[in-house]
Amino acid sequence: MRIAVFGKQFGEVFFNACKSLFQILKENNVEIVIHKPFYQFLLTNVKMKPEVSDFFMDHDEITDVDLVFSIGGDGTFLEAVTYVRDKGIPIVGINSGRLGFLADISQGEMKVAIEEVIEGNYTTRQIDLLEIETGDNHFGEYNFALNELAISKRDSSAMIIVHTYVNDEFLNSFWSDGLIVSTTTGSTAYSLSVGGPILHPSSKSFVITPIAPHNLNVRPIVVPNDVEVTLKVEGRDSKFLASLDSRSKVLENTVHLKVKKAKFSINVIELRGHSFFTTLRNKLMWGVDKRN
């Protein structure tokens, strides 16, 4: 088996677990291609020198691998997606912290989980992304998101107005601090924190969620993800902030954004006992009640 390893910096609490991870891979004769900055972090901070066969720095250099391991939190996982993109390589999320919804393999279960992965005891699930179009292609080749597009006011304390259309039919003008268009995966991220609903991963939908809306009768709405959502921003400030997952751009109000389902999906692995509902209960403490 040949894998690509992508990671970011993490704290000392994960140092020993990281060493154990690479030891497990070595014992199972796994060939490793590693992101070069992460390799330097392991050398300098973790004081370990994993055996690797090659390095990669960008999307094109990930070739002939069976899996991509993302070591970190959900933010690291989202960045790993920018390297995998449309290659169809399944991603394994290993959590170096406390809570990970995408990076769902915890330290406590890592040894057993990694051995299950190596033995092929997992299923693969496809998850949809969204992409945006702007007149001048402001996000370049990174115009996609696994979680969400977030529109927000920039510096002013004044609200913005986001005129929203679905398949060119007017939906609403949202007077608010901003607006989120999220995927089903993103429904448990930023959208959830501002009152959006949780969607099952198999739901082929987007959630349109206002951020601190001025009108209390405005609520999130779920729409099919085969539609095109157009956003036009108005406000006292001539600019606004647009964020695709963790990648942000300051745009002029004259820029209109068109949101639709991306042309490619991401494959993630799902181990036994790691269903969506168990993740909700275990990671988000969903439905926890001391009476139970």
Has residue 28 been placed in a domain? yes
Same domain, 174 and 243: yes
The tally of domains found in the chain comes to 2
Looking at the whole model, is its pTM more than 0.85? yes
Structure tokens at 91: 């991603």
> Which residues share a beta bridge with 72?
95
Same domain, 248 and 133: yes
Average pLDDT rounded to a whole number, residues 117-145: 94
Same domain, 257 and 133: yes
Q: Pick from 285, 277, 265, 289: which is nearest to 126 by CA? A: 265
> Is the CA virtual torsion 273, 101, 201, 119 positive or negative?
negative
Q: DSSP code of 61?
A: G
Q: Which pLDDT belongs to residue 106? A: 85
Same domain, 101 and 143: no
Q: DSSP code of 67?
A: E
Average pLDDT rounded to a whole number, residues 174-196: 96
Q: Note if 74 is an active site residue.
A: yes
Same domain, 213 and 102: no
Same domain, 144 and 204: yes
State the residue range of the domain holding 115: 2-121+272-283
* Alpha helix ranges (H) inside 120-272: 190-193
* Alpha helix ranges (H) inside the chain: 15-27, 36-41, 74-84, 110-119, 190-193, 276-283
Residues 5, 30: contact at Cβ < 8 Å? no
Residues 66, 28: contact at Cβ < 8 Å? no
| pLDDT tens column, 262-278 | 999 999 998 887 788 88
> Which residues share a beta bridge with 241?
152, 250
Has residue 290 been placed in a domain? no
Has residue 160 been placed in a domain? yes
Same domain, 76 and 107: yes
d(CA 129, CA 126): 10
Element (H, E) at 207: strand 205-211
| pLDDT tens column, 14-36 | 999 999 999 999 999 999 999 99
261: left (phi over 0), alpha (psi -120 to 50) or beta: beta
How far lies 185's CA from each of 197, 264, 268, 289, in Å?
11, 15, 12, 25
| Active-site position among 58, 74, 155, 245 | 74
Has residue 279 been placed in a domain? yes
Has residue 291 been placed in a domain? no
% pLDDT > 70, the chain: 99
- Here the CATH number for the domain that contains residue 92 is 3.40.50.10330
Same domain, 115 and 138: no
Has residue 49 been placed in a domain? yes
Min mean pLDDT across 112-116, 170-174, 179-183 is at 112-116
| pLDDT tens column, 45-63 | 999 999 999 999 999 999 9
Q: Which amino acid does the sequence have at 112?
A: V
Q: Which amino acid does the sequence have at 214?
A: H
Q: Has residue 98 got a pLDDT over 80?
A: no
> Is the CA virtual torsion 32, 36, 38, 40 positive or negative?
positive
**DSSP output for 98-127:** S--SSS-B-GGGHHHHHHHHHHT-EEEEEE
Sequence-distant (6+) residues with CB within 8 A of 239 are 154, 250, 251, 252, 253
110-119 and 15-27 helices, crossing angle to 10°: 30
Q: Which pLDDT belongs to residue 196? A: 96
Min mean pLDDT across 101-110, 123-132, 182-191, 221-230 is at 101-110
Q: Which pLDDT belongs to residue 286? A: 75
Has residue 45 been placed in a domain? yes
Same domain, 91 and 151: no
Has residue 110 been placed in a domain? yes
Q: SS3 sequence, 11-53?
A: CHHHHHHHHHHHHHHHHCCCEEEEEHHHHHHHHHHHCCCCCCC
d(CA 272, CA 188): 21
Same domain, 112 and 96: yes
Q: Which pLDDT belongs to residue 99? A: 67
Structure tokens at 130: 């969204």
Same domain, 149 and 237: yes
- Here the CATH number for the domain that contains residue 147 is 2.60.200.30
| pLDDT tens column, 213-266 | 998 889 999 999 999 999 999 999 899 999 999 899 999 999 999 999 999 999
Q: Which pLDDT belongs to residue 104? A: 82
Same domain, 241 and 190: yes
